[in-house]
Amino acid sequence: MIGAAMIGTAMIGAVDIGGTKIAVGVVDGGRVLDKTEFPTDVPSGFETAMRRIGTALRECAQHAGVKLDGIGIGCAGQLDAATGLLGSVNNLPGWEHCNPVEILAKEFGLPVALENDADAVALGEVQWGALRSKSRLVFVTIGTGIGASVILDGKIYRGVRHSHPEIGHLIIDPAGPMCTCGAQGCWESLASGPAMAQWAKQNAPADRANLDLTARQLCALAEQGDEWAQRAVEHEARYLGLGLANLVDIFVPQAIILGGSVMKSAHLFMDRIRRVIEQNCCLVPYECVEIVLASLGADVGLIGAAEVWRHRFERCGGRIE
Ligand SMILES: [Zn+2]
C-alpha cells in the first residue's frame, strides 16, 4: 500500500482540522513544501469541507511538483483512529459520525490515517522537534482548551477501544468552575486561555469590571506591570503547575513539552510552574523531568498530521496497536 516511496521519504498530504480553520499542505520529512488554509465553515457541512480539502491537497501537490504517497489527518475532538469516524466534537457540531478517512482514501486511492490533533502534534514534536531522542514524553497544548498526548517508546499511548485520554479534563478542583464537558473543576476549566480570561473578569477591580480581555491581552498588560493582570498570570501559572504536577506524578516522563497559544507567553509562567511541581511532586525525581516549550512553530499542525501517516504506515505496519 505504501507504494514505491522509501521509508521516511514519502510525500504526505497533511490535513489539520480545527474548529476555526483547516490547514492543508504537502510535507516531506518534516518540511512543509506547500500549504494553504481556509475557514472550517462548520455550518456549510462536512461534505463541503471535504471537497475543499480534496481540492487544496491536489493544488498543494501540484505547486510542490510531487505525487502524494499518503494522507495524514489531525482533527480536534473525539474520534476513532481505527475506523476514521469522528465522534462528538464541541467545535464541529453536526460532523459526528462523519468519516474523513473513508472519503479521502476513496477520492485519492491512497492510504489515509487519522488521529486526535494533540496526538498528531506530539508525534511531530517527537520526530522533528528538539527532544527527538527521548522516548517517554507528554505533550500538552494550552490554548482554547487543554489537549495532551502521551508518547511511550515513540508510540501513542491509547486507552481501551483505542481511546485518546482526556488529560485536559483531570479534576483539579471539585469546587471549581463548570467545564464544557459537563464535569466541574477540570484542568481545562481552570487553566485554558478562556479560563484565565474568565478568572480575571470575575476578580477585576471595580474600574475594570466591564473589560473583557483575552489571555493574550492580560499577559501583555502583566508585562507592563499591571497588578490585576499579574494576579491573573499568577493564578494561571498556579493551575497550569498543578495539572503538570499531576502528570509528573503519574508518568514521571523524561520531558513534558508545552505548546499552544497561551504558551506564547510562557516566560511569564515558567518559574511559578516549576515551583508548583517542586512543592507537590515529593515522591518522584521531578528534577529529572524536563519542562520545555514546543520547538516546531507555526507548521507543527501540518508536520504532525504528516507524522500521523508515518506513525501508522511506516512504524506500526498500518495497524492500531
Ligand atoms: Zn472537563
**Band of pLDDT at residue 48, cut at 50, 70 and 90:** very high
What spacing in Å lies between the alpha carbon of 125 and ligand 1's midpoint?
Answer: 25
Quote the cell numbers at residue 283.
Answer: 515522591
Q: Is 60 exceeded by the pLDDT of residue 143?
A: yes
**Band of pLDDT at residue 319, cut at 50, 70 and 90:** confident
pLDDT tens for 161-190 read 888 999 999 999 999 999 988 999 999 999
| Predicted pLDDT of residue 3 | 43
Give Cβ neighbours of residue 267 (< 8 Å, ≥ 6 apart): none
> Quick one: CA torsion of 238, 244, 248, 250, rounded to 10 degrees?
120
Helix (H), strand (E), coil (C) string for the chain = CCCCCCCCCCEEEEEEECCCEEEEEEEECCEEEEEEEEECCHHHCHHHHHHHHHHHHHHHHHHHCCCCCEEEEEECCCECCCCCCECCCCCCCCCCCCCHHHHHHHHHCCCEEEEEHHHHHHHHHHHHCCCCCCCEEEEEEECCCEEEEEEECCEECCCHHHCCCCHHHCECCCCCCECCCCCECEHHHHHCHHHHHHHHHHCCCHHHCCCCCCHHHHHHHHHCCCHHHHHHHHHHHHHHHHHHHHHHHHHCCCEEEEECHHHHHHHHHHHHHHHHHHHHCCCCCHHHCEEEECCCHHHHHHHHHHHHHHHHHHHCCCCCC
Name the average pLDDT for the chain.
93
165 conformational bin, left if phi > 0, alpha if psi -120 to 50, beta if neither: beta
| Predicted pLDDT of residue 102 | 97
| Predicted pLDDT of residue 320 | 85
The CA distance from 247 to 252, in Å, is 7
| Predicted pLDDT of residue 321 | 72
What spacing in Å lies between the alpha carbon of 262 and ligand 1's midpoint?
Answer: 18
Map grid coordinates 494550552 to a residue: 142
**Band of pLDDT at residue 229, cut at 50, 70 and 90:** very high
| Predicted pLDDT of residue 67 | 96
Q: Which is it for strands 155-156 and 146-152: parallel, antiparallel or unpaired?
A: antiparallel
| Predicted pLDDT of residue 9 | 75
What spacing in Å lies between the alpha carbon of 128 and ligand 1's midpoint?
Answer: 31
What spacing in Å lies between the alpha carbon of 181 and ligand 1's midpoint?
Answer: 4
- In the predicted model, what is the mean pLDDT of residues 47-67? 97
Predicted TM-score (pTM) of this structure: 0.88
| Predicted pLDDT of residue 8 | 54
What spacing in Å lies between the alpha carbon of 186 and ligand 1's midpoint?
Answer: 5
Q: In a 10 Å sphere around its CB, with 0-12 CB exposed, 13-18 middle and 19+ buried, how is residue 319 labelled? A: exposed
- In the predicted model, what is the mean pLDDT of residues 295-300? 88
What spacing in Å lies between the alpha carbon of 146 and ligand 1's midpoint?
Answer: 9
CB atoms within 10 A of CB 288: 11
What spacing in Å lies between the alpha carbon of 206 and ligand 1's midpoint?
Answer: 30
What spacing in Å lies between the alpha carbon of 13 and ligand 1's midpoint?
Answer: 32
% of the chain beyond a pLDDT of 70: 98
| Predicted pLDDT of residue 133 | 77
pLDDT tens for 187-215 read 999 999 999 999 999 999 999 988 999 99
What spacing in Å lies between the alpha carbon of 87 and ligand 1's midpoint?
Answer: 16
What spacing in Å lies between the alpha carbon of 282 and ligand 1's midpoint?
Answer: 27
79: amino acid identity, one letter: L
- Looking at per-residue pLDDT, the higher value among 273 and 6 belongs to 273
Q: Is 70 exceeded by the pLDDT of residue 7?
A: no
**Band of pLDDT at residue 5, cut at 50, 70 and 90:** very low
pLDDT tens for 73-116 read 999 888 999 999 998 877 788 899 999 999 999 999 999 999 99
What spacing in Å lies between the alpha carbon of 157 and ligand 1's midpoint?
Answer: 20
What spacing in Å lies between the alpha carbon of 184 and ligand 1's midpoint?
Answer: 7
What spacing in Å lies between the alpha carbon of 263 and ligand 1's midpoint?
Answer: 20
What spacing in Å lies between the alpha carbon of 90 and ligand 1's midpoint?
Answer: 12
What spacing in Å lies between the alpha carbon of 150 and ligand 1's midpoint?
Answer: 18
Q: Is 50 exceeded by the pLDDT of residue 1?
A: no
- In the predicted model, what is the mean pLDDT of residues 132-151? 91
